[in-house]
Amino acid sequence: MKYTFHPEARDELYEAVNFYETREIGPGLEFLEEIYSTILRIIEFPENYPRYSENTRKCLTNRFPFTVIYQIKKNEIFIATFAHQSRSPGYWKERL
């Protein structure tokens, strides 16, 4: 199964990587690896994670305070956001 990002989700991902890298060299790459590990878990078991809304699900990362919000579409996982868990909930809903 393939996956795609909403363009703003891709921007969020790179902003978070840059944030971690500006603090110290290394955590940005670790964060990116954790995100892709989370995406692989979602692809393997897309319906295992709790519903966030009627059409979306959420999967928490293991090491960083981020939630991957996604939709299961025909032969595709559509990632709507990489939401920091301290950020206002639902700010991304207009993306769907």
Q: Which CATH number fits domain 2-85: 3.30.2310.20, 3.20.20.70, 3.40.50.720, 3.40.440.10?
A: 3.30.2310.20
pLDDT exceeds cutoff 90 at 96? no
| Confidence category of residue 14, pLDDT binned at 50, 70, 90 | very high
pLDDT exceeds cutoff 80 at 35? yes
The owner of tokens 């305070």 is 65
- Cα–Cα distance between 35 and 47 in angstroms, integer? 18
* Burial readout 40-58 (b: 16 or more C-beta within 10 A, e: otherwise): ebbeeebeebeebeeebbb
Domain boundaries, the chain: 2-85
pTM of the model: 0.87
**DSSP reduced 3-state for 13:** helix
Residues pairing with 38 in the sheet: none
Question: Rounded to the nearest 5 degrees, what angle is found at the Cα of 66, between the Cα atoms of 61 and 69?
Answer: 85
**Could you tell me which residues come within 8 angstroms of residue 63 by beta carbon, excluding any fewer than 6 positions away?**
30, 34
Q: What percent of the chain has pLDDT over 70?
A: 95
